[in-house]
Amino acid sequence: AIVVGVKKGGTRAVLEFIRVHPDVRALGTEPHFFDRNYDRGLEWYRSLMPRTLDSQITVEKTPSYFVTKEAPRRIFNMSRDTKLIVVVRNPVTRAISDYTQTLSKKPDIPTFEGLSFRNRSLGLVDTSWNAIRIGMYAVHLESWLQYFPLSQIHFVSGERLITDPAGEMGKIQDFLGIKRVITDKHFYFNKTKGFPCLKKSESSGLPRCLGKSKGRTHVQIDPEVIEQLRDFYRPYNIKFYETVGQDFRWE
């Protein structure tokens, strides 16, 4: 199974939570095989994977696959039975989170507003900016549906992953066809970080929270900018809800 997206949606949390399961072995780093390293060949990719028993599922996550044109075909050519997990969240919040992360590494980039619009007074959103483009989920999904049926793609709500981690993880376990082992008793809510953490990790038996790069305080954005972006995303969101048969309530 591959967690194919999306960046700043909650993919790391899903990976850390699911690898607690005894029937799952997960690669901790992002291999970027189906986007950046494809020329290294399948044997290289396989060599990165943890050793598994026949009864175990191997999982990797690389959130940029979701927006990579070639990724669906390449994964399909490897195995048409691959199960795909996509973690999505409100595209406006996702874009702000994405920008916040970039800003922490490159403090001199232009403002969020400046990057979001080609012309703000006309309300022209700059869809070439990656942080905006990633959130147009319905557009990217089309490429995947050319190769995989919806039944092989599971969508996780990044919002519900925070408010009800056990519920979302229950659905993921059902989708992967494994027993519901990860339940409420695995989580506690970390008030400082503002999201759930595991009571104990697979390796140490100690509580495990995601690293300091997760749960950053978002940059403050002008509410009017947020409103304009909400308007921009609305048709894409509605199309996405209709395609996947699930309302994520981002409106």
Q: Which residues are catalytic?
A: 8
Q: Is 41 marked as binding a ligand?
A: no
**What are 173-176's contacts with CB under 8 Å, separation 24+?**
173/18, 173/21, 175/83, 175/85, 176/1, 176/18, 176/24, 176/57, 176/83
Report the candidate in 147, 123, 125, 159 with the shortest Cα–Cα distance to residue 68: 147
Q: How far is CA 191 from CA 127, 195, 210, 216, in A?
A: 35, 7, 13, 13
Dist CA 246 CA 26 (whole Å):
27
Q: Is 186 marked as binding a ligand?
A: no
Dist CA 230 CA 238 (whole Å):
12
Residue with tokens 């599922």: 57
Q: Is 11 marked as binding a ligand?
A: yes
Q: Is 180 marked as binding a ligand?
A: no
Q: Is 97 marked as binding a ligand?
A: yes
First to last CA, the chain: 30
Q: Is 114 marked as binding a ligand?
A: no
- 190-204 residues labelled b (16+ CB within 10 A) or e (exposed): eeeeebbbbeeeeee
Q: Is 215 marked as binding a ligand?
A: yes
Q: Is 10 marked as binding a ligand?
A: yes
Q: Is 89 marked as binding a ligand?
A: yes
Binding-site positions = 8-12, 89, 97, 214-218
For the annotated binding site for 3'-phosphoadenylyl sulfate, the residues are: 8-12, 89, 97, 214-218
